[in-house]
Amino acid sequence: MLKLMPIYGTRPEAIKMAPIIKAIQASPDFDCVVTVTGQHREMLDQVNELFGIAPDHDLNIIAPRQTLNSIMAKTVTGLDALFEAGAPDAVIVQGDTTTSTAAAIAAFYRGIPVVHVEAGLRSGDLFSPFPEEGNRKISSHISSLHLASTSVSKANLLRENINPEDIVLTGNTVIDALLETVDKNVPFQDRALQDLAETGKEILLVTTHRRENQGNTMDGIGRALARIADAYPDLTIVLPVHKNPAVREAVLPAITGKPNVIITEPLGYGAFTRLLSLAHIVLTDSRGVQEQAPSLGKPVLVMRNNTERPEAVSAGTVKLIGTDESVIVTEVATLLDDAAAYSAMANAVNPYGDGHAAARCLAAIAQLLNVGSRLPDFNDN
Ligand code: UD1
């Protein structure tokens, strides 16, 4: 049987890889050897547990305040030993984390075909998001099969002279995962969130973690949240805060102890999805949140100056607002005070997927390995 090795290390990769792993496990043609690097620990394990995935290999590389180079070095070395012991027929990597690019490089150097899921995202700025824009460009140029979520991503790859025969338009597996999870109505472990869900109060859901926002910019995000909390006492701000200590040191001081701010540990994917479905407005610098919130009809304000996700911006549900403290306050206030501005953004749109992306990914992999043929492309027009 052909051996496929999905390799991932962080929470967002785990969410997007889960539907593909499920599809491989259900197929009679393939063995699935799930390999995690452990770039994240708790945040990764939570997602694997929710989807019932037990990794076959775990490099457990995480270290406090790890550097990009240490992630790269440990991943390449650890995977090389696994490949030496028994090379898979293909590896599958997702997105643009340092785990995914390290895994792509390790496989490429061993002559193992690389399948790149969610290929072709580009912001156009090598340093934002950093290092992800560089990571994904490297991965694109050493992959054998490019699974693009949208036609914008496919066009980006064509512009870089990737062979059109090697690109398949699949839709984003995050929508497969979302549709499977949102109906579960997962209970909140956090008492404050459970109480909040019962009151039905308006929620501003906030997430922030991007490396290029860490430091002064993130201090400003903390101050903006404090100003919003003071100006709107009936609003509840919920911030599931990333495990990265650099994030916590920047954003927490201004808001800790405010009566209408709830700060939680990172939520499991199920609980996060439920919170997203309850939110009135979403304020974020995350990409996965930008992809999922539009499917639930939630206005998303993005604290970045660019996005590799222009589709939902065009659809009107996502707005790029940058990271200036006062602008953040003003943009949130506009959505809270102006019903017309709010309803203009609160449309449910699905530019990223139809829930069948994983099946298209697996069929394309089968064709790559000469044991099947591709399904019709995802149509995002
Ligand atoms: C990484 C990815 C980013 C992705 C993000 C999702 C890179 C370069 N960045 O950034 O693309 O959007 O994950 O969250 O690959 N930590 C823990 N426990 C955890 C997770 C993190 O303690 O479960 C701490 C560690 O101290 C670690 C720090 O957080 O050193 C930062 O983690 P790291 O993976 O280096 O970067 P992220 O900011 O999570």
Ligand 1 environment, Cβ below 6 A? 10-12, 39-43, 64-66, 68, 97-98, 131-132, 209, 243-244
What is the CATH topology of the domain spanning 188-346?
A: Rossmann fold (3.40.50)
Q: Do domains 2-172+353-368 and 188-346 have the same CATH topology?
A: yes
Rg (C-alpha) for the chain, rounded Å, is 20
pTM, entire model: 0.93
3 state SS of 239:
strand
CA atoms within 13 A on the CB side of 147: 33
* d(C-alpha 185, C-alpha 63), whole Å: 34
Q: Tokens at residue 316, please?
A: 């009107």
Q: Per the residue annotation, which of 209, 274, 304, 360 is the catalytic one?
A: 209
Which sequence spans correspond to the domains of the chain?
2-172+353-368, 188-346
Q: What is the pLDDT of residue 11?
A: 96
Q: Tokens at residue 164, please?
A: 């059109």
Tens-digit pLDDT profile for residues 154-195: 999 999 999 999 999 999 999 999 988 988 888 999 999 999
249 an active-site residue? no
CA-wise closest residue to 277 among 267, 365, 166 = 267
* d(C-alpha 263, C-alpha 286), whole Å: 17
CATH architecture of 2-172+353-368: 3-Layer(aba) Sandwich (3.40)
Q: What pLDDT tens digit does each residue of the chain (381 aa) get?
A: 999 999 999 999 999 999 999 999 999 999 999 999 999 999 999 999 999 999 999 999 999 999 999 999 999 999 999 999 999 999 999 999 999 999 999 999 999 999 999 999 999 999 999 999 999 999 999 999 999 999 999 999 999 999 999 999 999 999 999 988 988 888 999 999 999 999 999 999 999 999 999 999 999 999 999 999 999 999 999 999 999 999 999 999 999 999 999 999 999 999 999 999 999 999 999 988 999 999 899 999 999 999 999 999 998 999 999 999 999 999 999 999 999 999 999 988 888 999 999 999 999 999 999 999 999 999 987
* d(C-alpha 40, C-alpha 56), whole Å: 17
Answer for the pair 234, 338: CB distance below 8 angstroms, yes or no: no
Q: Tokens at residue 150, please?
A: 């949208």
Answer for the pair 348, 294: CB distance below 8 angstroms, yes or no: yes
CA 132 to centroid of ligand 1, rounded, Å: 12
Answer for the pair 113, 93: CB distance below 8 angstroms, yes or no: no
C-alpha to C-alpha distances, 201 to 66, 183, 213, 278, 351, nearest whole angstrom: 39, 21, 29, 9, 29
- Contacts of residue 316, defined as CB under 8 A and 6 or more positions apart, other chains included, come to 344, 345, 347, 349
If phi > 0 it is left, if psi is from -120 to 50 it is alpha, else beta; for residue 9 that is alpha
- Contacts of residue 63, defined as CB under 8 A and 6 or more positions apart, other chains included, come to 70
Q: Per the residue annotation, which of 13, 58, 96, 285 is the catalytic one?
A: 96
Q: Per the residue annotation, which of 13, 58, 132, 308 is the catalytic one?
A: 132
209 an active-site residue? yes
Q: What is the pLDDT of residue 135?
A: 98
Q: Tokens at residue 270, please?
A: 């199920």
Tens-digit pLDDT profile for residues 203-224: 999 999 999 999 999 999 999 9
CA-closest residue to ligand 1 atom 11: 97
Q: What is the pLDDT of residue 186?
A: 87
* d(C-alpha 43, C-alpha 333), whole Å: 32
* d(C-alpha 148, C-alpha 169), whole Å: 5
49 an active-site residue? no
User: 342-365 burial string, b = 16+ CB within 10 Å, else e?
Assistant: eeebbeeebbbbebbbbbbbbbbb
CA-closest residue to ligand 1 atom 2: 97
